[in-house]
Amino acid sequence: MLNEDVCERIRQAATIIGESRHLVAFTGAGISTDSGIPDFRSQNSGVWRDVDPLKVASIYGFRHDPQAFYDWVRPLSELMLSAEPNAAHHALADLETAGHLRSVITQNIDMLHSRAGHRQIFELHGHMRQATCIHCFAVCDGENVMRQFLSDGQVPRCPQCGSGILKPNVILFGEQLPFRELQGAQDAARDCDVMVVVGSSLEVAPADGIPLLAHRTGAKLIIVNLEPTPADRYADVVIHGRAAHILPEIIRYVEKSE
Ligand code: APR
Ligand code: ZN
């Protein structure tokens, strides 16, 4: 049950979205926790609570000890391969179908936005759809590579050159973000008049600069997050709550006012 203050904020967010001409969404791991995928920094459940990201999820760590990366990513990839989009993903997809939402910029590698039916997605931190050989750069089907690893526990080797190790096309710490994705996300942030930011602590650069770029270029910000974020003070509406509860309510008000 949502309290009156949250309902008022939902109505404000719906009014801003209903009046927007170029709405863009920006999402983080928090939008997928209701699909069973843990986020990274939540106090009691975040993935980084028990491991040092720079040891297991950096490109240096991967090259030095790929087994440590694959052992770390095992539980996450099991969850991602079986997860379904939740009500928050579907609410954003409905906004795109209704012609309100132009694109989604996401830090998530779980592919749940594409599985919810979005067409224009900027995956800033890559995805698990493909895996690339770090020796000969051959590209393989990422989901098959992960399923193979989940069944035999062996670090996946390249079928092309036979010796190289396959790395999922996710961006590890120390790697450049994919140019096209970052460029597209920055253009979308400059062009939008409203950005709805969902489920991100906004603690990782350069992704965390995207909502601020939108704000600096005149867009209104709506933030839906369980905890406060550094961008809350720039936002027109801040709603601290579960995305899977809040976003469908916002959409309901948008549809009611049409
Ligand atoms: N609804 C709304 N917010 C939620 C929910 C939910 N159901 N569940 C968690 N949150 C919030 C948390 O309170 C937290 O502030 O989502 C935020 C998730 O923050 P992070 O765990 O830091 O995830 P994210 O911002 O996506 O991290 C960015 O860091 O480690 C890297 O590459 C990784 O893409 C990731 C990047
Ligand atoms: Zn190879």
CB 107 within 8 A of CB 205: no
What totals of helices (H) and strands (E) does the chain contain, helices first?
Answer: 10, 9
Where do you find CATH 3.40.50.1220 in the chain? 1-37+85-125+177-258
To the question of domain 1-37+85-125+177-258 being in CATH 3.40.50.1220, the answer is yes
Residue minimizing CA distance to atom 34 of ligand 1: 107
Q: Are 146 and 79 in contact (CB under 8 A)?
A: no
Q: Taking the model in full, what pTM does it have?
A: 0.96
> To 5 degrees, how large is the angle CA 39–CA 146–CA 58?
55
What's the gap in Å between 49 CA and the centre of ligand 1? 13
Least confident of 35-49, 136-150, 222-236: 35-49
Locate CATH 3.30.1600.10 in the chain.
Answer: 40-82+126-170
Segment 162-171 shows an average pLDDT of: 95
Contact status, residue 88 vs residue 108, Cβ threshold 8 Å = no
Rounded Cα–Cα distance for residues 84 and 70 (Å): 22
Q: Max alpha carbon distance in the chain (Å)?
A: 61
For the cut 80, the answer to whether the pLDDT of residue 1 exceeds it is no
The β-bridge partners of 222 are 196, 237
In this model, does residue 84 exceed pLDDT 80? yes
Give the CATH number of domain 40-82+126-170; options: 3.40.50.150, 3.40.720.10, 3.40.50.1220, 3.30.1600.10: 3.30.1600.10
Q: Is the pLDDT of residue 91 over 80?
A: yes
Given a contact cutoff of 8 angstroms between Cβ atoms, the answer to whether 94 and 85 are in contact is no
Q: Which of 113, 125, 127, 215 is catalytic?
A: 125
